[in-house]
Protein backbone atom coordinates (compact mmCIF):
# COMPACT_ATOMS: atom_id res chain seq x y z
CA UNK A 1 0.00 0.00 0.00
CA UNK A 2 2.89 2.37 0.79
CA UNK A 3 4.47 1.63 -2.60
CA UNK A 4 1.16 2.15 -4.41
CA UNK A 5 0.55 5.44 -2.62
CA UNK A 6 4.05 6.62 -3.50
CA UNK A 7 3.55 5.65 -7.12
CA UNK A 8 0.24 7.48 -7.19
CA UNK A 9 1.92 10.60 -5.84
CA UNK A 10 4.83 10.45 -8.27
CA UNK A 11 2.70 9.57 -11.27
CA UNK A 12 0.17 12.26 -10.42
CA UNK A 13 2.96 14.78 -10.46
CA UNK A 14 4.32 13.32 -13.69
CA UNK A 15 0.93 13.33 -15.39
CA UNK A 16 0.35 16.90 -14.32
CA UNK A 17 3.47 17.79 -16.27
CA UNK A 18 2.10 15.87 -19.27
CA UNK A 19 -1.30 17.51 -19.16
CA UNK A 20 -0.55 21.19 -19.19
CA UNK A 21 -3.17 23.40 -20.75
CA UNK A 22 -5.61 20.71 -21.71
CA UNK A 23 -6.03 22.12 -25.22
CA UNK A 24 -7.39 19.90 -27.94
CA UNK A 25 -5.12 19.49 -30.94
CA UNK A 26 -7.73 19.77 -33.65
CA UNK A 27 -10.10 22.34 -34.97
CA UNK A 28 -13.00 19.91 -34.98
CA UNK A 29 -15.50 20.48 -32.22
CA UNK A 30 -15.52 17.89 -29.43
CA UNK A 31 -12.92 15.62 -31.01
CA UNK A 32 -10.49 14.28 -28.40
CA UNK A 33 -6.93 15.41 -28.81
CA UNK A 34 -3.47 14.92 -27.43
CA UNK A 35 -2.50 16.76 -24.28
CA UNK A 36 0.62 18.86 -24.37
CA UNK A 37 3.58 18.07 -22.20
CA UNK A 38 4.53 21.03 -20.07
CA UNK A 39 7.52 21.62 -17.83
CA UNK A 40 8.13 18.67 -15.55
CA UNK A 41 7.16 19.28 -11.97
CA UNK A 42 9.25 16.49 -10.54
CA UNK A 43 12.99 16.66 -11.24
CA UNK A 44 13.62 13.01 -10.37
CA UNK A 45 11.03 11.68 -12.85
CA UNK A 46 12.23 11.14 -16.41
CA UNK A 47 11.05 9.33 -19.50
CA UNK A 48 11.76 5.61 -19.47
CA UNK A 49 14.94 4.66 -21.30
CA UNK A 50 14.77 3.94 -25.01
CA UNK A 51 13.59 0.38 -25.57
CA UNK A 52 12.02 -0.11 -22.15
CA UNK A 53 9.17 -1.98 -23.82
CA UNK A 54 11.59 -4.72 -24.84
CA UNK A 55 12.74 -5.42 -21.29
CA UNK A 56 11.70 -8.69 -19.71
CA UNK A 57 9.61 -6.72 -17.17
CA UNK A 58 7.18 -5.84 -19.94
CA UNK A 59 7.80 -8.38 -22.68
CA UNK A 60 8.04 -12.05 -21.79
CA UNK A 61 11.07 -13.93 -23.00
CA UNK A 62 14.67 -12.84 -23.04
CA UNK A 63 14.84 -12.11 -26.72
CA UNK A 64 12.04 -9.55 -26.87
CA UNK A 65 9.13 -9.35 -29.26
CA UNK A 66 11.25 -9.51 -32.40
CA UNK A 67 11.88 -13.20 -31.75
CA UNK A 68 8.21 -14.09 -31.40
CA UNK A 69 6.54 -16.23 -34.03
CA UNK A 70 2.87 -15.99 -34.86
CA UNK A 71 0.73 -18.02 -32.50
CA UNK A 72 -1.62 -20.79 -33.53
CA UNK A 73 -5.09 -19.31 -33.86
CA UNK A 74 -8.09 -20.98 -32.24
CA UNK A 75 -10.39 -23.24 -34.21
CA UNK A 76 -12.74 -22.23 -35.59
CA UNK A 77 -11.30 -18.83 -36.44
CA UNK A 78 -12.64 -16.32 -35.91
CA UNK A 79 -14.57 -17.59 -32.86
CA UNK A 80 -18.35 -17.76 -33.03
CA UNK A 81 -19.46 -17.43 -29.41
CA UNK A 82 -18.54 -16.11 -25.99
CA UNK A 83 -16.40 -18.95 -24.60
CA UNK A 84 -17.61 -18.72 -21.00
CA UNK A 85 -20.63 -17.81 -18.91
CA UNK A 86 -20.57 -14.48 -17.13
CA UNK A 87 -23.34 -12.60 -15.34
CA UNK A 88 -23.99 -9.67 -13.00
CA UNK A 89 -26.85 -8.75 -10.65
CA UNK A 90 -29.86 -7.52 -12.62
CA UNK A 91 -30.50 -4.09 -11.11
CA UNK A 92 -33.48 -2.03 -12.19
CA UNK A 93 -36.94 -2.58 -13.59
CA UNK A 94 -37.08 -4.81 -16.69
CA UNK A 95 -37.94 -3.08 -19.95
CA UNK A 96 -41.13 -4.54 -21.46
CA UNK A 97 -40.64 -6.19 -24.82
CA UNK A 98 -43.04 -3.85 -26.61
CA UNK A 99 -41.04 -0.83 -25.39
CA UNK A 100 -37.84 -2.29 -26.81
CA UNK A 101 -39.68 -3.05 -30.05
CA UNK A 102 -40.81 0.57 -30.35
CA UNK A 103 -37.37 1.83 -29.40
CA UNK A 104 -35.76 -0.30 -32.09
CA UNK A 105 -38.31 0.88 -34.63
CA UNK A 106 -37.52 4.51 -33.81
CA UNK A 107 -33.75 4.07 -34.12
CA UNK A 108 -33.78 1.96 -37.27
CA UNK A 109 -36.41 4.31 -38.66
CA UNK A 110 -33.90 7.14 -38.34
CA UNK A 111 -31.27 5.11 -40.20
CA UNK A 112 -33.75 4.49 -42.99
CA UNK A 113 -35.22 7.99 -43.12
CA UNK A 114 -31.90 9.83 -43.39
CA UNK A 115 -30.14 7.10 -45.36
CA UNK A 116 -27.30 6.80 -42.85
CA UNK A 117 -24.88 4.83 -45.00
CA UNK A 118 -25.73 6.62 -48.26
CA UNK A 119 -25.09 9.87 -46.37
CA UNK A 120 -21.70 8.54 -45.28
CA UNK A 121 -20.77 7.64 -48.86
CA UNK A 122 -21.70 11.12 -50.04
CA UNK A 123 -20.06 13.17 -47.29
CA UNK A 124 -16.93 11.14 -46.53
CA UNK A 125 -13.75 12.13 -48.33
CA UNK A 126 -10.67 10.45 -49.78
CA UNK A 127 -9.80 9.35 -53.32
CA UNK A 128 -12.40 8.50 -55.96
CA UNK A 129 -11.80 5.51 -58.25
CA UNK A 130 -12.30 7.77 -61.29
CA UNK A 131 -8.79 9.14 -60.63
CA UNK A 132 -7.24 5.80 -61.57
CA UNK A 133 -5.53 5.73 -58.17
CA UNK A 134 -6.30 3.53 -55.16
CA UNK A 135 -9.68 4.66 -53.86
CA UNK A 136 -10.83 5.09 -50.25
CA UNK A 137 -13.05 7.14 -47.96
CA UNK A 138 -12.78 8.26 -44.34
CA UNK A 139 -14.35 10.68 -41.87
CA UNK A 140 -12.33 13.90 -41.96
CA UNK A 141 -13.02 16.30 -39.10
CA UNK A 142 -11.56 19.52 -40.48
CA UNK A 143 -13.60 19.78 -43.67
CA UNK A 144 -15.72 22.62 -45.01
CA UNK A 145 -18.46 21.75 -47.51
CA UNK A 146 -19.19 24.42 -50.11
CA UNK A 147 -22.35 24.17 -52.19
CA UNK A 148 -22.44 25.99 -55.52
CA UNK A 149 -25.34 25.08 -57.77
CA UNK A 150 -25.38 21.35 -58.43
CA UNK A 151 -21.90 20.70 -56.97
CA UNK A 152 -20.75 20.20 -53.40
CA UNK A 153 -17.02 20.61 -52.77
CA UNK A 154 -15.43 19.28 -49.59
CA UNK A 155 -12.40 21.41 -48.70
CA UNK A 156 -9.75 20.28 -46.23
CA UNK A 157 -8.95 23.01 -43.69
CA UNK A 158 -6.96 21.33 -40.90
CA UNK A 159 -4.34 18.77 -39.98
CA UNK A 160 -6.83 15.98 -39.19
CA UNK A 161 -5.03 14.94 -36.03
CA UNK A 162 -7.66 12.53 -34.72
CA UNK A 163 -9.89 11.65 -37.66
CA UNK A 164 -9.74 7.94 -36.86
CA UNK A 165 -11.69 8.34 -33.63
CA UNK A 166 -14.96 8.81 -35.55
CA UNK A 167 -13.71 6.85 -38.56
CA UNK A 168 -13.11 3.77 -36.40
CA UNK A 169 -16.68 3.90 -35.11
CA UNK A 170 -18.02 4.15 -38.66
CA UNK A 171 -15.81 1.28 -39.83
CA UNK A 172 -16.93 -1.05 -37.06
CA UNK A 173 -20.61 -0.29 -37.65
CA UNK A 174 -20.18 -0.78 -41.39
CA UNK A 175 -18.23 -4.05 -41.10
CA UNK A 176 -20.73 -5.56 -38.74
CA UNK A 177 -23.72 -4.05 -40.51
CA UNK A 178 -22.52 -5.45 -43.82
CA UNK A 179 -22.17 -8.94 -42.38
CA UNK A 180 -25.49 -8.69 -40.56
CA UNK A 181 -27.69 -7.21 -43.30
CA UNK A 182 -25.86 -7.71 -46.63
CA UNK A 183 -27.07 -4.19 -47.49
CA UNK A 184 -25.05 -2.84 -50.44
CA UNK A 185 -24.68 0.72 -49.13
CA UNK A 186 -23.50 -0.51 -45.73
CA UNK A 187 -21.06 -2.90 -47.38
CA UNK A 188 -19.73 -0.14 -49.64
CA UNK A 189 -18.98 1.97 -46.56
CA UNK A 190 -17.21 -1.04 -45.02
CA UNK A 191 -15.07 -1.48 -48.13
CA UNK A 192 -14.24 2.22 -48.45
CA UNK A 193 -13.41 2.71 -44.76
CA UNK A 194 -11.27 -0.45 -44.71
CA UNK A 195 -9.40 1.10 -47.61
CA UNK A 196 -9.32 4.39 -45.72
CA UNK A 197 -7.59 2.84 -42.72
CA UNK A 198 -5.15 1.09 -45.03
CA UNK A 199 -4.51 4.41 -46.76
CA UNK A 200 -3.25 6.01 -43.54
CA UNK A 201 -0.38 3.50 -43.72
CA UNK A 202 0.11 3.19 -47.50
CA UNK A 203 0.15 6.96 -47.79
CA UNK A 204 2.95 7.13 -45.20
CA UNK A 205 5.34 5.04 -47.30
CA UNK A 206 8.24 7.22 -48.43
CA UNK A 207 9.20 5.35 -51.60
CA UNK A 208 9.49 1.83 -53.02
CA UNK A 209 12.48 1.13 -50.78
CA UNK A 210 11.04 2.38 -47.49
CA UNK A 211 12.36 0.04 -44.76
CA UNK A 212 9.42 0.89 -42.46
CA UNK A 213 6.32 0.42 -44.64
CA UNK A 214 3.83 -0.16 -41.80
CA UNK A 215 3.94 3.11 -39.89
CA UNK A 216 0.77 5.18 -39.76
CA UNK A 217 0.27 8.86 -40.50
CA UNK A 218 -2.27 10.93 -38.65
CA UNK A 219 -3.62 11.94 -42.05
CA UNK A 220 -2.74 12.01 -45.72
CA UNK A 221 -3.76 14.74 -48.15
CA UNK A 222 -3.96 13.43 -51.72
CA UNK A 223 -4.84 15.17 -54.97
CA UNK A 224 -7.83 17.43 -55.64
CA UNK A 225 -10.63 15.72 -57.55
CA UNK A 226 -13.97 16.39 -59.23
CA UNK A 227 -16.32 13.56 -60.22
CA UNK A 228 -19.88 12.31 -60.23
CA UNK A 229 -21.46 9.87 -57.83
CA UNK A 230 -22.59 7.62 -60.63
CA UNK A 231 -24.69 4.50 -60.89
CA UNK A 232 -21.87 2.20 -61.98
CA UNK A 233 -19.54 2.83 -59.02
CA UNK A 234 -21.75 4.27 -56.31
CA UNK A 235 -25.30 3.24 -57.26
CA UNK A 236 -26.12 6.93 -56.96
CA UNK A 237 -27.91 9.46 -59.16
CA UNK A 238 -25.00 11.26 -60.84
CA UNK A 239 -24.73 14.20 -58.45
CA UNK A 240 -21.49 16.19 -58.65
CA UNK A 241 -18.91 16.06 -55.87
CA UNK A 242 -15.44 17.53 -55.51
CA UNK A 243 -12.72 17.08 -52.90
CA UNK A 244 -9.95 19.64 -52.37
CA UNK A 245 -7.07 18.65 -50.14
CA UNK A 246 -4.74 21.37 -51.44
CA UNK A 247 -5.83 23.66 -48.64
CA UNK A 248 -3.43 21.68 -46.45
CA UNK A 249 -0.49 21.83 -48.85
CA UNK A 250 1.52 23.95 -46.43
CA UNK A 251 3.90 23.32 -43.55
CA UNK A 252 2.52 23.21 -40.03
CA UNK A 253 4.65 22.54 -36.96
CA UNK A 254 3.02 21.69 -33.65
CA UNK A 255 4.17 20.08 -30.43
CA UNK A 256 2.23 16.95 -31.34
CA UNK A 257 2.30 16.78 -35.14
CA UNK A 258 3.83 18.24 -38.28
CA UNK A 259 2.31 18.64 -41.74
CA UNK A 260 4.71 18.59 -44.69
CA UNK A 261 5.20 17.49 -48.29
CA UNK A 262 5.53 13.80 -49.09
CA UNK A 263 6.86 13.94 -52.64
CA UNK A 264 7.09 10.38 -53.98
CA UNK A 265 4.58 8.10 -52.32
CA UNK A 266 4.32 4.88 -54.38
CA UNK A 267 0.51 4.84 -54.26
CA UNK A 268 -0.62 8.45 -54.75
CA UNK A 269 2.53 10.24 -55.87
CA UNK A 270 3.21 13.73 -54.55
CA UNK A 271 0.97 14.32 -51.53
CA UNK A 272 1.12 15.95 -48.10
CA UNK A 273 0.86 14.24 -44.73
CA UNK A 274 0.46 14.91 -41.03
CA UNK A 275 2.79 12.71 -38.97
CA UNK A 276 3.06 11.61 -35.32
CA UNK A 277 0.18 9.16 -35.08
CA UNK A 278 -0.83 9.04 -31.42
CA UNK A 279 -2.74 6.76 -29.09
CA UNK A 280 -5.72 9.15 -29.08
CA UNK A 281 -7.20 7.28 -32.01
CA UNK A 282 -4.97 4.22 -32.11
CA UNK A 283 -7.03 3.13 -29.09
CA UNK A 284 -10.15 3.23 -31.28
CA UNK A 285 -8.38 1.63 -34.24
CA UNK A 286 -7.14 -1.42 -32.30
CA UNK A 287 -10.60 -1.89 -30.82
CA UNK A 288 -12.19 -1.94 -34.27
CA UNK A 289 -9.42 -4.23 -35.53
CA UNK A 290 -10.94 -7.04 -33.45
CA UNK A 291 -13.79 -7.17 -36.00
CA UNK A 292 -11.64 -7.23 -39.14
CA UNK A 293 -11.29 -11.06 -39.15
CA UNK A 294 -15.09 -11.25 -39.35
CA UNK A 295 -15.18 -8.92 -42.36
CA UNK A 296 -12.63 -11.15 -44.07
CA UNK A 297 -14.52 -14.33 -43.20
CA UNK A 298 -18.15 -13.29 -43.53
CA UNK A 299 -18.66 -10.26 -45.77
CA UNK A 300 -21.20 -11.10 -48.48
CA UNK A 301 -19.21 -9.39 -51.26
CA UNK A 302 -15.73 -10.39 -52.38
CA UNK A 303 -14.71 -6.76 -52.83
CA UNK A 304 -15.35 -6.13 -49.14
CA UNK A 305 -13.41 -9.22 -48.10
CA UNK A 306 -10.44 -8.24 -50.27
CA UNK A 307 -10.33 -4.65 -49.01
CA UNK A 308 -10.59 -5.65 -45.36
CA UNK A 309 -8.03 -8.46 -45.74
CA UNK A 310 -5.51 -5.84 -46.84
CA UNK A 311 -6.52 -3.73 -43.84
CA UNK A 312 -6.11 -6.64 -41.43
CA UNK A 313 -2.67 -7.42 -42.86
CA UNK A 314 -1.76 -3.75 -42.60
CA UNK A 315 -2.90 -3.51 -38.98
CA UNK A 316 -0.85 -6.58 -38.11
CA UNK A 317 2.19 -4.91 -39.64
CA UNK A 318 1.49 -1.63 -37.87
CA UNK A 319 1.12 -3.30 -34.48
CA UNK A 320 4.16 -5.52 -35.00
CA UNK A 321 6.24 -2.42 -35.51
CA UNK A 322 4.94 -1.01 -32.22
CA UNK A 323 5.81 -4.20 -30.32
CA UNK A 324 9.18 -4.61 -32.00
CA UNK A 325 10.03 -0.96 -31.29
CA UNK A 326 9.55 -1.40 -27.55
CA UNK A 327 5.89 -0.29 -27.61
CA UNK A 328 6.60 2.99 -29.36
CA UNK A 329 4.30 4.24 -32.13
CA UNK A 330 7.06 5.30 -34.48
CA UNK A 331 6.65 8.07 -37.01
CA UNK A 332 8.66 9.60 -39.86
CA UNK A 333 10.20 12.98 -40.53
CA UNK A 334 10.49 15.11 -43.65
CA UNK A 335 13.28 12.85 -44.90
CA UNK A 336 11.12 9.74 -44.64
CA UNK A 337 13.25 8.24 -41.87
CA UNK A 338 11.44 6.49 -39.01
CA UNK A 339 12.01 7.60 -35.42
CA UNK A 340 10.53 7.34 -31.93
CA UNK A 341 8.79 10.47 -30.70
CA UNK A 342 10.99 11.88 -27.90
CA UNK A 343 9.88 13.52 -24.67
CA UNK A 344 6.16 12.89 -25.20
CA UNK A 345 3.80 10.21 -23.92
CA UNK A 346 1.41 10.45 -26.87
CA UNK A 347 3.34 7.92 -28.97
CA UNK A 348 4.26 5.07 -26.62
CA UNK A 349 2.84 2.65 -24.07
CA UNK A 350 5.76 2.57 -21.63
CA UNK A 351 6.05 6.15 -20.40
CA UNK A 352 4.60 5.29 -16.97
CA UNK A 353 5.46 1.59 -16.77
CA UNK A 354 8.74 2.08 -14.93
CA UNK A 355 6.79 3.56 -12.02
CA UNK A 356 3.83 1.20 -12.30
CA UNK A 357 4.03 -1.80 -14.70
CA UNK A 358 0.22 -2.27 -14.90
CA UNK A 359 -0.17 1.26 -16.28
CA UNK A 360 -1.17 1.11 -19.97
CA UNK A 361 -0.86 -2.67 -19.87
CA UNK A 362 -4.02 -3.12 -21.93
CA UNK A 363 -2.49 -0.88 -24.61
CA UNK A 364 0.45 -3.23 -24.88
CA UNK A 365 -1.68 -6.37 -24.67
CA UNK A 366 -4.03 -5.33 -27.47
CA UNK A 367 -1.00 -4.56 -29.62
CA UNK A 368 0.60 -7.93 -28.83
CA UNK A 369 -2.52 -9.83 -29.76
CA UNK A 370 -3.06 -8.10 -33.10
CA UNK A 371 0.62 -8.40 -33.97
CA UNK A 372 1.39 -11.92 -32.80
CA UNK A 373 -1.80 -13.49 -31.47
CA UNK A 374 -0.22 -14.01 -28.03
CA UNK A 375 0.47 -11.74 -25.04
CA UNK A 376 4.09 -10.64 -24.70
CA UNK A 377 3.76 -7.90 -22.08
CA UNK A 378 3.32 -8.34 -18.34
CA UNK A 379 0.11 -9.85 -16.96
CA UNK A 380 -2.61 -7.19 -17.16
CA UNK A 381 -4.92 -8.92 -14.69
CA UNK A 382 -8.31 -7.22 -14.79
CA UNK A 383 -7.07 -4.29 -16.87
CA UNK A 384 -8.44 -1.92 -14.26
CA UNK A 385 -7.02 -0.14 -11.24
CA UNK A 386 -3.52 0.87 -12.34
CA UNK A 387 -2.02 4.10 -11.10
CA UNK A 388 -2.53 5.55 -14.58
CA UNK A 389 -6.21 4.60 -14.38
CA UNK A 390 -6.51 6.44 -11.11
CA UNK A 391 -4.85 9.72 -11.99
CA UNK A 392 -4.77 10.28 -15.78
CA UNK A 393 -8.46 11.19 -16.22
CA UNK A 394 -8.06 13.92 -13.64
CA UNK A 395 -5.54 15.57 -15.93
CA UNK A 396 -7.77 15.57 -18.98
CA UNK A 397 -11.23 14.15 -19.76
CA UNK A 398 -10.05 12.72 -23.07
CA UNK A 399 -7.87 10.22 -21.23
CA UNK A 400 -11.09 8.38 -20.36
CA UNK A 401 -11.90 7.11 -23.88
CA UNK A 402 -8.24 6.30 -24.45
CA UNK A 403 -8.24 4.13 -21.32
CA UNK A 404 -11.55 2.37 -21.88
CA UNK A 405 -10.96 1.85 -25.61
CA UNK A 406 -7.65 0.10 -24.96
CA UNK A 407 -9.36 -2.00 -22.28
CA UNK A 408 -12.03 -3.03 -24.79
CA UNK A 409 -9.39 -3.60 -27.46
CA UNK A 410 -7.47 -5.97 -25.19
CA UNK A 411 -10.68 -7.77 -24.21
CA UNK A 412 -11.98 -8.05 -27.77
CA UNK A 413 -8.73 -9.26 -29.26
CA UNK A 414 -8.23 -11.73 -26.39
CA UNK A 415 -11.61 -13.21 -27.31
CA UNK A 416 -10.77 -13.28 -31.02
CA UNK A 417 -7.40 -14.98 -30.49
CA UNK A 418 -8.71 -17.53 -28.01
CA UNK A 419 -7.20 -16.36 -24.71
CA UNK A 420 -10.21 -17.22 -22.56
CA UNK A 421 -8.71 -16.72 -19.10
CA UNK A 422 -7.23 -13.37 -20.07
CA UNK A 423 -10.54 -12.30 -21.60
CA UNK A 424 -12.54 -13.34 -18.54
CA UNK A 425 -10.24 -11.38 -16.23
CA UNK A 426 -10.49 -8.34 -18.49
CA UNK A 427 -14.28 -8.66 -18.58
CA UNK A 428 -14.34 -8.69 -14.78
CA UNK A 429 -12.19 -5.57 -14.86
CA UNK A 430 -14.54 -3.92 -17.34
CA UNK A 431 -17.38 -4.65 -14.94
CA UNK A 432 -15.51 -3.00 -12.10
CA UNK A 433 -14.69 -0.04 -14.33
CA UNK A 434 -18.28 0.52 -15.46
CA UNK A 435 -19.69 -0.07 -11.97
CA UNK A 436 -17.36 2.63 -10.70
CA UNK A 437 -18.19 5.03 -13.52
CA UNK A 438 -21.95 4.65 -12.97
CA UNK A 439 -21.94 4.62 -9.18
CA UNK A 440 -24.11 7.57 -8.04
CA UNK A 441 -21.49 8.27 -5.38
CA UNK A 442 -18.62 8.00 -7.83
CA UNK A 443 -15.75 10.38 -7.30
CA UNK A 444 -14.60 10.04 -10.91
CA UNK A 445 -13.74 13.52 -12.21
CA UNK A 446 -15.48 12.73 -15.51
CA UNK A 447 -18.90 12.68 -13.85
CA UNK A 448 -19.00 16.47 -13.97
CA UNK A 449 -18.42 16.55 -17.74
CA UNK A 450 -21.54 17.34 -19.76
CA UNK A 451 -20.91 14.41 -22.11
CA UNK A 452 -20.48 11.80 -19.36
CA UNK A 453 -23.86 10.03 -19.48
CA UNK A 454 -23.93 10.10 -23.28
CA UNK A 455 -20.45 8.61 -23.38
CA UNK A 456 -21.47 5.99 -20.83
CA UNK A 457 -24.37 4.93 -23.07
CA UNK A 458 -22.00 4.35 -25.97
CA UNK A 459 -19.44 2.61 -23.76
CA UNK A 460 -22.14 0.23 -22.53
CA UNK A 461 -23.14 -0.79 -26.05
CA UNK A 462 -19.54 -1.18 -27.18
CA UNK A 463 -18.61 -3.19 -24.08
CA UNK A 464 -21.69 -5.38 -24.60
CA UNK A 465 -20.27 -6.39 -27.98
CA UNK A 466 -17.41 -8.03 -26.07
CA UNK A 467 -19.47 -9.93 -23.51
CA UNK A 468 -20.38 -7.28 -20.95
CA UNK A 469 -23.93 -8.01 -19.69
CA UNK A 470 -25.96 -4.87 -19.10
CA UNK A 471 -28.39 -4.63 -16.22
CA UNK A 472 -31.80 -3.00 -16.66
CA UNK A 473 -30.69 0.38 -15.32
CA UNK A 474 -27.91 0.47 -17.91
CA UNK A 475 -30.25 -0.69 -20.67
CA UNK A 476 -32.56 2.22 -19.88
CA UNK A 477 -29.60 4.62 -19.98
CA UNK A 478 -28.73 3.35 -23.46
CA UNK A 479 -32.27 3.80 -24.72
CA UNK A 480 -32.53 7.28 -23.22
CA UNK A 481 -29.50 8.68 -25.03
CA UNK A 482 -30.28 6.96 -28.33
CA UNK A 483 -33.84 8.26 -28.35
CA UNK A 484 -32.47 11.74 -27.68
CA UNK A 485 -30.23 11.37 -30.74
CA UNK A 486 -33.20 10.27 -32.83
CA UNK A 487 -35.14 13.37 -31.77
CA UNK A 488 -32.20 15.65 -32.59
CA UNK A 489 -31.26 14.08 -35.91
CA UNK A 490 -34.75 13.59 -37.36
CA UNK A 491 -35.34 17.33 -37.43
CA UNK A 492 -31.91 18.27 -38.80
CA UNK A 493 -32.39 19.80 -42.28
CA UNK A 494 -29.08 19.19 -44.08
CA UNK A 495 -28.86 15.44 -44.63
CA UNK A 496 -28.78 16.06 -48.39
CA UNK A 497 -26.69 19.12 -49.24
CA UNK A 498 -27.46 18.66 -52.94
CA UNK A 499 -31.21 19.07 -52.38
CA UNK A 500 -32.60 22.27 -53.84
CA UNK A 501 -34.03 23.19 -50.44
CA UNK A 502 -30.48 23.67 -49.13
CA UNK A 503 -29.13 27.06 -50.26
CA UNK A 504 -25.70 27.63 -51.75
CA UNK A 505 -23.04 28.45 -49.19
CA UNK A 506 -20.51 27.05 -46.75
CA UNK A 507 -21.32 24.26 -44.30
CA UNK A 508 -18.85 23.27 -41.61
CA UNK A 509 -18.39 19.79 -40.18
CA UNK A 510 -19.53 20.78 -36.69
CA UNK A 511 -23.14 21.57 -37.58
CA UNK A 512 -23.32 22.36 -41.29
CA UNK A 513 -23.06 19.09 -43.19
CA UNK A 514 -23.07 16.92 -40.05
CA UNK A 515 -25.50 17.30 -37.13
CA UNK A 516 -24.16 19.20 -34.14
CA UNK A 517 -23.38 17.45 -30.88
CA UNK A 518 -25.43 18.42 -27.87
CA UNK A 519 -23.83 16.22 -25.23
CA UNK A 520 -27.17 14.50 -24.71
CA UNK A 521 -27.84 12.26 -27.70
CA UNK A 522 -25.14 9.89 -28.94
CA UNK A 523 -22.92 11.30 -31.68
CA UNK A 524 -23.98 10.84 -35.28
CA UNK A 525 -20.91 8.74 -36.09
CA UNK A 526 -22.04 6.20 -33.47
CA UNK A 527 -25.81 6.21 -33.95
CA UNK A 528 -25.76 2.83 -35.76
CA UNK A 529 -23.59 1.08 -33.14
CA UNK A 530 -26.33 -1.49 -32.55
CA UNK A 531 -25.17 -3.08 -35.82
CA UNK A 532 -21.87 -3.89 -34.12
CA UNK A 533 -23.55 -5.26 -31.02
CA UNK A 534 -26.14 -7.33 -32.85
CA UNK A 535 -23.58 -8.90 -35.18
CA UNK A 536 -21.02 -9.64 -32.48
CA UNK A 537 -20.54 -13.34 -31.67
CA UNK A 538 -19.68 -12.31 -28.12
CA UNK A 539 -23.09 -10.93 -27.11
CA UNK A 540 -23.87 -12.18 -23.64
CA UNK A 541 -27.30 -13.83 -23.20
CA UNK A 542 -27.13 -12.98 -19.49
CA UNK A 543 -27.47 -9.27 -20.25
CA UNK A 544 -30.61 -7.15 -20.37
CA UNK A 545 -32.22 -6.74 -23.78
CA UNK A 546 -31.99 -3.13 -24.91
CA UNK A 547 -32.52 -3.52 -28.67
CA UNK A 548 -34.30 -6.01 -30.95
CA UNK A 549 -31.44 -7.54 -32.92
CA UNK A 550 -33.76 -9.42 -35.28
CA UNK A 551 -35.21 -6.08 -36.41
CA UNK A 552 -31.76 -4.51 -36.64
CA UNK A 553 -30.63 -7.34 -38.93
CA UNK A 554 -33.46 -6.77 -41.43
CA UNK A 555 -32.51 -3.58 -43.27
CA UNK A 556 -35.56 -3.78 -45.51
CA UNK A 557 -37.86 -3.39 -42.50
CA UNK A 558 -35.99 -0.65 -40.62
CA UNK A 559 -38.55 1.65 -39.06
CA UNK A 560 -41.50 -0.53 -40.03
pLDDT at position 365 over 70: yes
Per residue in 221-268, pLDDT tens?
Answer: 999 999 999 999 999 999 999 999 999 999 999 999 999 999 999 999
Q: Which of 9-18, 52-61, 381-390 has the lowest mean pLDDT?
A: 52-61
Residue 30 has pLDDT above 70, yes or no: no
Report pLDDT digits (tens) over 165-177. Answer: 999 999 999 999 9
d(CA 499, CA 419): 51
| H-run or E-run covering 111 | helix 97-114
pLDDT mean across residues, the chain: 91
Residue 49: its pLDDT value, please? Answer: 36
Q: For 271-297, what is each residue's pLDDT tens digit?
A: 999 999 999 999 999 999 999 999 999
pLDDT in tens, 129-147: 999 999 999 999 999 999 9
pLDDT band at 36 (very low <50, low <70, confident <90, very high): low
Maximum alpha-carbon separation in the chain: 69
At residue 486, does pLDDT exceed 90? Answer: yes
Range of the domain at 78: 2-557
Angle subtended at Cα 530 by Cα 458 and Cα 284, rounded to the nearest 5 degrees: 50
**93-96 contact pairs (CB < 8 A, 24+):** 93/472, 93/476, 94/472, 94/544, 95/472, 95/475, 95/476, 95/479, 95/544, 95/545, 95/546
pLDDT category of residue 74 using cuts at 50, 70 and 90 = confident
So what's the pLDDT on residue 7? 53
pTM over 0.75: yes
- State yes or no: pLDDT of 42 exceeds 80: no
Residue 58 is predicted with a pLDDT of: 64
CA distance 545 to 526: 19
Q: Which of 42-51, 295-304, 331-340 has the least mean pLDDT?
A: 42-51
Domain tally, the chain = 1
Segment 399-426 mean pLDDT: 99
- 39 has pLDDT over 90: no
Closest by Cα among 97, 96, 107, 95 to 560: 107
pLDDT of residue 8: 52
Question: Tell me, what's the pLDDT at 343?
Answer: 85
More confidently predicted of 2 and 495:
495
What is residue 75's predicted lDDT score, i.e. its pLDDT?
78
Q: Give 486's contacts (C-beta < 8 A, 6+ positions apart).
A: 106, 107, 109, 110, 521
Per cent of the chain over pLDDT 70 is 87
Amino acid sequence: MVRLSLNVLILTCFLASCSGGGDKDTGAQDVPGDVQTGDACCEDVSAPPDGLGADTDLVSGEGGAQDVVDADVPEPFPPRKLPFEYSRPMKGEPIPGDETEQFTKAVTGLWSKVGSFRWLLRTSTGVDPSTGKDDYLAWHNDVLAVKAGDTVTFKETGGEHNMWIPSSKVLSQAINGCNLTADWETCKVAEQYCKGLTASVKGFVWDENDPAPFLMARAIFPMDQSFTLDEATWKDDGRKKAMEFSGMYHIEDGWNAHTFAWPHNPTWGSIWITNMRSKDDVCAIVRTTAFLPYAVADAPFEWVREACQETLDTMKGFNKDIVDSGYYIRTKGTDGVAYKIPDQDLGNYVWYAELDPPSECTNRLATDLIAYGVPKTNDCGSGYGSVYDMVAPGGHYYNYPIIWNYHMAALGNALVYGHEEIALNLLKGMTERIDTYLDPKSEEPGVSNGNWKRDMALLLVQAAAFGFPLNWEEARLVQKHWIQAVAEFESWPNWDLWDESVPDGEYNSGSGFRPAETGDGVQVEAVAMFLEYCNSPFKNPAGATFVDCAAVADAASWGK
